[in-house]
Amino acid sequence: MKRGHEETSSSSSPPHSKPRLSSHNGEDHGVEDDSTKSLARKVADHYSSRSNQTLEEREASPIIHMKKLNNWIKSVLIQLYTHRDDVVLDLACGKGGDLIKWDKARIGYYVGVDIADGSIEDCRTRYNGETDQIHRRKRFSFPARLICADCYEVPLDKALQDDAPFDICSCQFALHYSWSTEERARQALENVSSLLRPGGTFIGTMPDANVIVKKLREAEGLTFGNSVYWISFDEEYTKKKFKSSRPFGIQYKFHLEDAVDCPEWLVPFHIFKELAKEYGLELVFKKNSHEFVNEYIKKPEFAELMRRLGALGDGSGDGRTLSEDEWEAAYLYLVFVMRKSGQGDSLKKNTQRRSLSQIRQEDVMYLPCQP
C-alpha cells in the first residue's frame, strides 16, 4: 500500500570527535555526502509512503507468518528485558507496531522517534486509538511523546533532556540504516548511550551480515533470494570480498514482499560490537533469529504466545503456516542485547515528564537535520 508523500530536503553529517575506524585511501566509501543524504531520504520516503493495512490486507500478505514471527521475537525481547514503569526510547519506532507490546510490559513512559513523518503520524493515531481495525483498542496505560527526526544524524540529547534517562532503548529492524557512514553509525550509538541510564538495556533486531555474505557467496551472481525476498549487490562487489578496513557503506538493495524495498547497509557485527563498546555499551548476547526462536520457543510462556500470535498457523489444519521461504527470510536477521556500563538505579524514575493521554499533531516534535 502506498500513499502520496511530499519530498523534503535533508541534512548533513554530525561532527565526529572520536578516531575513525574506516581507513581513507582516497576512496569515498562510507563518507557522508549528498548521496548519503538522498539515500536516507529515500529510506524515509519508502517507509512514509506505506499506509496502514486493513485486517484483510494484512492477513492476505505473503509474509503474514513472518510478520507474526517477528512480532513474537520482539515481544519476547521486550518481556525479557522490560520492567514495570520503565522509561522507553523506541528509535525508528515506525508506525508504533510495538505499542501494544510495551503496554503489556506495563511501561511508565514511551518516546518514539522516526525519520518518516507518515509513520510518525500513523503511530500518533494508533496511540490515540483512532486507527485501523487491527489495532483498534482503548487507551494505552502509559504517556508518550513522538519525535520526527533522523536519529542517525541528529543528536537527540537536548530534545530529550527532560525525558532521559531511559531504562530501555529499542531499535527494531532499523539499525542497519545507520551503517551508510561511520559518522551515522557513531551518531546512532551516541544517541543510545547518552540517553540510557547506567545499567540500562539496548535491545534490537537487524540483518545478520554473516548470513547475507554467506548467501551472496553461494549465489551464482550478485542477486539471490526466494519467493518472498531478494537481495542484490552492485557490480563493485563482483569479487564478493569486503575489506575490514572499510566496514561502512556496504550497500545492497533489499526487497521483502509487502514490506521493504529500499537500500540497506551491511553491519559487520564484530565491528558494531567494538564500536558500541566505545560508547559504553557491552554486548550481552547476539543470536541469529533462528537460534533465538529455537531457544525461546522451549519456554512454555513464549510457546503459548507463539500459539496466540499464530506465526506457525492457527492450528485449524488449513495448511496455512510459516512457509519455508518465510523461515529462510527470517534467517536473514539477528537479535542483540547490550547493557550500558555502570550501575544505575532502575527504581529512581524521572517524574518531570508530561502525562499526555492523547498526542495532538502539534505535540509531535520535528527535529531538523543540521544545515
Ligand X SMILES: C[S@@+](CC[C@H](N)C(=O)[O-])C[C@H]1O[C@@H](n2cnc3c(N)ncnc32)[C@H](O)[C@@H]1O
Binding residues for S-adenosyl-L-methionine: 74, 92, 114, 150, 172, 177
For residue 153, the minimal CB distance to ligand X (Å) is: 7
Choice between 43 and 332, CB closer to ligand X? 43
Q: Give the residue ranges of the annotated binding site.
A: 70-71, 74, 92, 114, 150, 172, 177
Task: Confirm if 89 and 109 have CB atoms less than 8 A apart.
Answer: no
Sheet of strand 260-265, all strands in order from the earlier edge strand to the far edge? 223-225, 229-233, 251-256, 260-265
All three cell numbers of 38? 538522498
Residue type, 254: F
β partners of residue 365 = 147
Least separation, in Å, of the C-beta of 114 and ligand X? 4
Pairing of strands 333-340, 281-288: antiparallel
| Residue 300: CB minimum distance to ligand X, A | 26
Give the separation between CA 30 and CA 180, rounded to whole angstroms: 6
Question: How far apart are CB 240 and ligand X at their closest, in Å?
Answer: 26
Number of H helices, E strands in the chain: 11, 12
CB of 97 to ligand X, least distance (A): 4
| Nearer residue to ligand X within complex by CB, 44 or 212 | 44
C-alpha cell, 19: 578516531
Q: How far is the CB of 220 from ligand X (least distance, A)?
A: 28
Residue closer to ligand X (CB basis): 46 or 277: 46
**Residue 11 to residue 27: CA distance in whole angstroms:** 22
Q: Which residues are annotated as a binding site for mRNA?
A: 70-71
Distance CA 84, CA 347 (A): 10
Q: Which is nearer to ligand X, 107 or 151 (CB)?
A: 151
| 2 vs 239, beta carbon nearer ligand X | 2
CB nearest ligand X: which residue? 94
Query: Do residues 229 and 213 touch, judged by C-beta distance below 8 A?
Result: no
| CB-nearer residue toward ligand X: 178 or 346 | 178
Query: How far apart (Å, rounded) are the C-alpha atoms in residues 165 and 197?
Result: 5
**Eight-class DSSP state of 164:** P
List of residues contacting ligand X (CB under 6 A): 40, 43-44, 47, 92-94, 97, 114-116, 119, 150-152, 172-174, 177
Location of C-alpha cell 511530499 = 6
CA 221 vs. chain centroid, Å, equals 29
